[in-house]
Chain A
Amino acid sequence: MNGNGQPEYMSLLDGEALAKMQRLELIARGVVEGFVSGRHKSPYKGFSVEFAEHREYVPGDNIRDLDWRVFGRSDRYYIKQYIEETNLRALILLDASGSMKYAGDLAAKHNGQLLSKFQYARFLAATLAHLMIHQQDAVGLATFDTTLRRYIPSRSRASHLRVILAELASTEPGAETSVAEIFHDLADRIRRRGLIVIISDLFDNVDEILKALHHFRYRRHEVLLLHVMAEEELTFPFDRWSVFENLERSGHRIPLDPPALRSEYLGRVDDFIRRLEIGCGQMNIDYVQMSTRRNFDVALAHYLAQRMSRTR
Chain B
Amino acid sequence: MTFLNSIMLFGLIGVSIPIIIHILNRRQARMVDWGAMQFLESSLASRNRRILIEDIILMVIRCALLAALAFALARPFLTAGRLLPGAGGDAQDLAIVIDGSLSMTLRADGASNFQRAVDDAHQLIRSCRAGDAVSLVLAGPVAQPIIPAPISDLQGIHETLDKLAPAGGSMRVLEALNTAMETLSAGTNPAKQIVLITDGQSVGWDLSAQKRWEFLAEAAGAMPTRPVVIVRTLEAPRKWHNVSMSALNFSRAVIGADRPVKITATVANTGEGSIHPEAVELAIDGETVERRTVGVIAGGASGSVVFDHQFDSPGLRVISARIACDDDLPGDNEMARVVNVLGTLPVLIVEGASSTDPLEGDADFLYLAMALPDENVKTGSPLIAPTVVSAADIASVKRFADYAVVVLADVPRLPGHVAKALADFADKDGGLLIAPGEKADRNFYNKWLGPDGKRLAGGRLARVHTAVPGKRLAHIAPGSINHPAMALLSNASDSDLGSVPIKRHWVIEADEREKSVSVGAILDTGGPYLLQRRLSRGVVLTLATPLDRKFSDLPVRDCYVPLVHELIHYLAAPAQPAMNILPGRQFVYALPASQGPTAEVADPAGRRTAVHLRKRDQHWQATYSLTARPGLYRLILSNDVAARLSSPKSGGPATQSADESARAIPFVVLGDPDESKLDLLADDDYKRAGKFIPLTRVESLGELTAAIRGGVPGSEIWRYIVIAVLALLVAEIVTTRTIAAKRKMHLAEPISFGAETIGRTDTVR
Contacts and interface: CB of A to CB of B under 8 A. Distances in A.
Interface centre among B743, B751, B752, B758 (most CB of A within 10 A): B751
B47 interface: yes
A254 interface: yes
Nearest to B757: A234
Interface in A226-274: 229-231, 233-249, 252, 254-257, 259-270, 272-273
B159 interface: no
B51 A260 contact: yes
Interface centre among A101, A105, A231, A236 (most CB of B within 10 A): A236
Nearest to A267: B749
A11 interface: no
A288 B754 CA distance: 7
Interface in B30-52: 30-44, 46-47, 51
Given A101-B35, A244-B32, A252-B37, A237 B764 contact: yes
B744 interface: yes
Contact of B41 (A98, A234, A236, A254): A254
Contact of A247 (B26, B34, B753, B759): B34
B32 A243 contact: yes
Interface in B150-187: none
Interface SS of A by simple majority:
mixed
B758 A291 contact: yes
A257 B761 CA distance: 17
Nearest to B22: A241
Interface residues of B, number: 44
A235 B748 contact: yes
Contact of B35 (A102, A231, A290): A102
A117 B764 CA distance: 20
Given A100-B35, A239-B765, A270 B749 contact: yes
Contact of B745 (A242, A259, A272, A302): A259
A204 B43 CA distance: 15
A241 B763 CA distance: 17
Interface SS of B by simple majority:
mixed
A237 B763 contact: yes
A243 B758 contact: no
B33 A247 contact: yes
B755 interface: yes
Contacts of B764: 235, 237-239
A87 interface: no
Given A101-B33, A238-B765, A269-B751, A254 B44 contact: yes
A203 interface: yes
27 contacts: A100-B35, A203-B38, A229-B753, A234-B759, A235-B751, A242-B30, A243-B29, A243-B30, A244-B32, A245-B34, A246-B37, A254-B44, A257-B25, A260-B739, A261-B44, A261-B47, A262-B744, A263-B745, A263-B747, A264-B46, A264-B743, A265-B39, A265-B43, A266-B759, A267-B749, A270-B749, A299-B755
Given A245-B32, A270-B749, 20 more contacts: A105-B765, A203-B35, A235-B761, A235-B764, A239-B764, A241-B26, A242-B32, A243-B30, A244-B34, A254-B44, A255-B29, A261-B40, A263-B744, A264-B43, A264-B47, A266-B751, A270-B751, A273-B751, A273-B752, A289-B754
Interface of B: 25-26, 28-44, 46-47, 51, 54-55, 739, 743-745, 747-749, 751-756, 758-761, 763-765
Q: Shortest 8 CB-CB distances between A and B: which pairs? A: A99-B35, A263-B744, A102-B35, A289-B754, A241-B29, A264-B43, A244-B34, A234-B758
Interface of A: 98-102, 105-106, 117, 201, 203-204, 229-231, 233-249, 252, 254-257, 259-270, 272-273, 288-291, 293-294, 299, 302
